[in-house]
Structure 1
Amino acid sequence: MSSINSAIIIGGGIGGLVSALKLHRVGVSVRVFESVETIKALGVGINLLPHAVRVLTELGLAEELKKTGIPTAELMYVNKFGQEIWQEDRGINAGYRWPQYSIHRGKLQMLLLQAVKDTLGEDAVFTGHHLSSFEQTNDKVTAFFENKKTGERIGSYEADIMISADGIHSTVRKFYYPNEGLPKYSGRILWRGMTESTSFLTGKSMIMAGYQDKKFVAYPVCPETAAKGRSLVNWIAELAVEEMPSITDWNKKIDKEKFAPEFAKWDFGWLNVPELIEKTDAVYEFPMADRDPLPQWTFGRVTLLGDAAHPMYPIGSNGASQAILDADALGQTIMEQPHAEQALKEYEQVRLEPTSNIVYTNRKNGPEIVMQIVEDRAPNGFDYLHDVITRQELEDIANMYKKVAGFDRETLNSK
């Protein structure tokens, strides 16, 4: 019998909510605490890779995902002239047992929030509760909360374990690593928006154009828009910017003129980048940042999860997926290990090294490095791709990343 009967989860984002569903399934009583007063469908598009979709499917969410996301059919890298560098099928099209989904982050969060309330009860989620401090005894963790706006203390709760899923600016991580400082700025800024437009390529395609310091990503995220023969396109423009913006000022709305001129000539025929940007009402700025991998996540009855544990560059479509894999691993180790501290330590042993490897690989551009290789070798474009980069080189890079990120098809399909 597990000594873990109850858990406090700090953070009502994707990692925290999936953890709540997973822990409930293995018999743990869970309460989720979120700083904001009201959880809203904020954010833009993200991708869920097949290994994450497998976890969500096992939690009974397959039909809801199908209604909410676009099953990604292909991924294509092109240079700044729109010339194809690499194309591969994705998800079911690529022979996986589970789809890959392009989905609105906020809609996914609301889907998960509703699942938690339906499964665990409305009173399992506490909003307006910001973690101010916590303490451990031999057999319990007590968490103390406040209203973040007023500083008013609003109570304490205890449980057998506490899971910190409170993001890149995690309170718990800062407690254990007080001298870590701000996230590490990459030297690149992302501008993100959503635009309804005509479909491009398959209507379920994800494209990346350009190279490391000047890149554009686009993919559709809305099945309802697709049913009308159009696409709600999530797009990301990325540029190298030497001057570091306020790294704590995430999701800041900005003037498109700050970056749009750099992409003014990027009309590929099948995708008109300047038009997409021009037709977007609201554009948000994100400094691209991560943190160095940690030597330890688990401290007695407290552990880190998701971006609190391993924030990474948004390369290779991995951020949300890795948080979901964390939640799955946490549930598995709790089910198999009767002692709380040992269970959390085993979860760390399963997940720390793989996620650290992704952080380091993403700093080197992950699978997108093929775009930089082609830019370096053929900055003016090419007549024949394989004079610039061989098919084998392209395949090796793609396959290597799938192994690093844990979604090698043969390995995953055998689970």
Structure 2
Amino acid sequence: MTAPILIAGGGIGGLTAALSLHAAGKDALVIEHARRIDPLGVGIQLLTQGVRELTELGLGDELAELGVATAEYAFCDKSGNRLFSQPRGEATGSRWPQYSIHRGELHLMLLEEVRRRLGSDAVRTGVRLEDFTQHDDRVEVRVTNRESGAVETVEAAALIGADGLNSTVRARLHPDEGPLAWSGQRMWRGVTEGVPPFLTGRSWVGASDGDVTLVAYPIGKGRTNWVCLVRVAEPGPLPDDGPVDDHREGTFKDALHYFEDWSMGWLDVRHLLEYSGTILEYPMVDRDPLPAWGSGRVTLLGDAAHPMYPAGGNGAAQAVLDARVLAYELAQADGDVPAGLAAYERVRVEQANAVVMAARAMERATSPDTWDRAQVTQMMEMYRKKAESEVAQLNSRPSLTPPGRQ
């Protein structure tokens, strides 16, 4: 029996990789550290690139049912005055929409599809990756069952580290990396029910006075996702004695006092924060791009490969693109796994690293001395030209479904 491709991490990227490998005729097994995968989290943007790939995996109807087709990006000041807006999704000429969607619901949909297509045992939860050893013809991966404490070695044709921001696989591949890079901003995130529709009813809104930024957009079922971003320090390495946690539960009061003098009119910021459900708090972090993600039969995918600021909402789509290119190149490699993974990295490393740097540039563009109409207009004009080029490329690019596959 052929050893499967082992995917460490059952998030959006890891599950999409499993679906993509299966569609390409490759056996895949997902191991996930969490004992149970629940529909947790808040809203995310799934850009058109990601929507195309999931649609070609046969999930277009499910996305349309779960998500809200984003109509525009609108940038405002703290009084609600519109500074700039641009169309999104199909309004740009894209053949695919962009969706505002609840991350947990997208995650659960992908999990159900993996189990339906690959089998109920295709995702093993409560399994912690400890280490791995490469050989010419396989990878031996040592894992621990978190429930029983039992340790076993799993043989795999390849190991894909899709294990997120604090990736164990990345730490083994790149042991000399320093701490996470912190933007100096804290983020509070939540979802509030019953907020009246604003602007088009399908608008992504960003408002800022420089050090303080609010993002809000509908994610369906009468819910509005919101993000508060507050600059509390200068950019630099995430300090050991600082906010080192990935996330923690916060309260609306932690964020609300930054918005006391805001009056947007068409959006009640106090209501948005005060009546939210669970509020999560994060430091905004990324990592410096790597020139290569892995070697031989081991590589990285998604946040493990290229963690990025949420500016632009690229994270989910980039992970989905990783997964699709990975499966395509492995299918094209005719059984030469190292060659397939090398081809995957040749396609994706430079592209993903460019998005990491673009997200940093966009975050810097919202600093206090640049958040005015002229600067926002200039920034968004550059973004518009880039987006038009990307739409044309997306519409004309060949499918990433391997030839002869459905």
Tell me the TM-score normalized by structure 2: 0.91
- Report what 2:179 is aligned to: 182
Deviates more, 1:248-257 or 1:268-277: 248-257
Please state if 1:161 is matched with 2:158: yes
Q: SS at 2:133's partner residue?
A: strand
Q: SS at 2:382's partner residue?
A: helix
Distance, in Å, in 1 between the alignment partners of 2:312 and 2:189 is 17
- Report what 1:134 is aligned to: 132
1:17-71 CA deviation, whole Å, 9 max, x = no partner? Answer: 0000001111111100001111111110001000110000000000111111111
Structure 2 counterpart of 1:64, which letter?
Answer: E
- Report what 2:402 is aligned to: none
- Report what 2:384 is aligned to: 398
1:333-359 CA deviation, whole Å, 9 max, x = no partner? Answer: 112122110110110110111111111
Deviation at 1:389, TM superposition (A): 5.2
- Report what 1:34 is aligned to: 32
Match for 1:340 among 337, 342, 347? 337
Structure 1 counterpart of 2:268, which letter?
Answer: N
Distance, in Å, in 2 between the alignment partners of 1:216 and 1:378 is 13
- Asked if the contact 1:129–1:154 (Cα under 8 Å) also holds between the matched residues in 2, the reply is no
- Report what 2:347 is aligned to: 350
Match for 2:369 among 367, 376, 394? 376
Distance, in Å, in 2 between the alignment partners of 1:378 and 1:320 is 27
Structure 2 counterpart of 1:173, which letter?
Answer: R
Q: SS at 1:65's partner residue?
A: helix
Please state if 1:249 is matched with 2:245: yes
- Report what 1:409 is aligned to: 391
- Asked if the contact 2:78–2:262 (Cα under 8 Å) also holds between the matched residues in 1, the reply is yes
- Asked if the contact 2:210–2:369 (Cα under 8 Å) also holds between the matched residues in 1, the reply is no
Match for 1:310 among 306, 311, 321? 306
Structure 2 counterpart of 1:376, which letter?
Answer: D
Please state if 1:236 is matched with 2:227: yes
Q: SS at 2:58's partner residue?
A: coil
Distance, in Å, in 2 between the alignment partners of 1:65 and 1:91 is 14
Distance, in Å, in 2 between the alignment partners of 1:251 and 1:378 is 27
Distance, in Å, in 2 between the alignment partners of 1:393 and 1:261 is 29
Pairwise CA RMSD: 2.1
Deviates more, 1:239-248 or 1:44-53: 239-248
Match for 1:362 among 359, 362, 385? 359
Match for 1:80 among 72, 78, 81? 78
Deviating 4+ runs (over 6 angstroms):
none
Match for 2:57 among 44, 56, 59? 59
Structure 2 counterpart of 1:351, which letter?
Answer: R
1:191-230 matches, cutoff 5 A: 191-196=188-193, 197-222=195-220, 225=221
1:109–1:281 distance in 2 versus 1, CA, 3 Å: closer
1:174-207 CA deviation, whole Å, 9 max, x = no partner? Answer: 0111121331111000000111111111111100
- Asked if the contact 2:247–2:283 (Cα under 8 Å) also holds between the matched residues in 1, the reply is no
1:393–1:239 distance in 2 versus 1, CA, 3 Å: closer
- Asked if the contact 1:310–1:359 (Cα under 8 Å) also holds between the matched residues in 2, the reply is yes
Deviation at 1:280, TM superposition (A): 1.6
Distance, in Å, in 2 between the alignment partners of 1:390 and 1:179 is 38
Q: SS at 2:369's partner residue?
A: helix
Distance, in Å, in 1 between the alignment partners of 2:161 and 2:85 is 38
Distance, in Å, in 2 between the alignment partners of 1:85 and 1:273 is 18
1:291-330 matches, cutoff 5 A: 291-330=287-326
Distance, in Å, in 2 between the alignment partners of 1:396 and 1:63 is 33
Gapped runs of 5+ residues in structure 2?
A: 398-406
Distance, in Å, in 1 between the alignment partners of 2:3 and 2:161 is 17
- Asked if the contact 2:182–2:284 (Cα under 8 Å) also holds between the matched residues in 1, the reply is yes
Distance, in Å, in 2 between the alignment partners of 1:390 and 1:37 is 44
- Report what 2:261 is aligned to: 265
Gapped runs of 5+ residues in structure 1?
A: 226-230, 380-384
- Asked if the contact 1:20–1:116 (Cα under 8 Å) also holds between the matched residues in 2, the reply is yes
- Report what 2:115 is aligned to: 117
Distance, in Å, in 2 between the alignment partners of 1:390 and 1:69 is 28
1:314–1:394 distance in 2 versus 1, CA, 3 Å: closer
- Report what 1:382 is aligned to: none
